[in-house]
Amino acid sequence: MLLKQALLIENLKKSFGNNEALKGISLSVEPNEIFALIGPNGAGKTTALRIVAALLTPSGGRVEVFGNNVRERPDRVREIISYLPEEAGAYKNLTGNGYLRFMGELFATQRRELDDFLQRARDICGLGDRLNDKIGTYSKGMVRKLLLARALMTRPRLAILDEPTSGLDVINALEVRNLIKGFAREGMSVFLSSHNMLEIEYLSDRVGIIHQGIIYDMGTPEELKGKYGSSNLEEVFAEVAR
């Protein structure tokens, strides 16, 4: 049997009033693949991620997650994805543990599954005893790791991560990148956006460069560097976005 693509996007369009945020983008993400969208501010990255996460309705085109159309089966899509928003907050009056339990209970079907989720979340966030403290007392980086743990604890088939390491220091960012890579090796597919070219180069199997709602180029980091005669992705990006 042919394995279904983790994500299929065909001619995806999204307008906000007269503003065409996405002008017909197409791409696919294979099972186990880490695919990154890079592009300048306002390029349409978050819009694309939010549509895949079944949070925004497309104006046109087709989006399927493991063969499930996001318009026709949004509930099924929500069951198999996790979405980490760029500007996410968590309930400040809950403790880290309380938050993870609250979120875990929404997804777990049995007690044992919930325990698995919580154990995995604790391992991912590495916050230790601080999980007993209220989230309002956490640093920005701690909140980010808690949210990432929430997103990955359910072992989604497709993780949609908007700027996963935003606000993290070098060491924590590195840890998070390794975590994402590890999860992908174990079978998770990832669709992410980032402004950090080093991160993209380190993490992604393939990259799509988006600018003004259009995908200008796509390929492995090596392919793109070769094509533009650049030593790093930052130069490729600057060339394409010019």
Q: Contacting ligand ATP (CB under 6 A), which of 6, 9, 21, 124?
A: 21
Q: Does 19 bind ligand ATP (CB under 6 A)?
A: yes
Which of these ranges, 40-48, 134-142, 176-184, 232-240, lies near ligand ATP under the rule CB under 6 A?
40-48
Q: Does 176 bind ligand ATP (CB under 6 A)?
A: no
Q: Does 16 bind ligand ATP (CB under 6 A)?
A: yes
Contact between residue 157 and residue 189 where contact means Cβ atoms under 8 Å apart: yes
What ranges make up the beta strands (E) of 60-200? 60-65, 68-69, 81-84, 158-162, 189-193
Query: Residues binding ligand ATP: what is the number (CB under 6 A)?
Result: 11
Burial group, residue 119, by CB count within 10 angstroms (0-12, 13-18, 19+): exposed
Q: Does 41 bind ligand ATP (CB under 6 A)?
A: yes
Site track for ligand ATP across 81-120, x = CB under 6 A: ----------------------------------------
Which of these ranges, 4-12, 39-47, 129-137, 146-154, lies near ligand ATP under the rule CB under 6 A?
39-47
Q: Is 32 helix (H, G, I), strand (E, B) or coil?
A: coil
Q: Contacting ligand ATP (CB under 6 A), which of 6, 25, 29, 44?
A: 44
* DSSP 8-state code for residue 134: B
175 vs 217, beta carbon nearer ligand ATP: 217
Looking at the DSSP bridge assignments, the partners of residue 211 are 214
Which of these ranges, 37-45, 90-98, 99-107, 172-180, lies near ligand ATP under the rule CB under 6 A?
37-45
User: How do beta strands 19-29 and 206-211 pair?
Assistant: unpaired
Structure tokens at 229: 């005669």
Q: What is the 3-state secondary structure (H, E, C) of 89-127?
A: CCCCCCEHHHHHHHHHHHHCCCHHHHHHHHHHHHHHHCC
Q: List interacting residues with ligand ATP (CB under 6 A).
A: 16, 19, 21, 39, 41-47
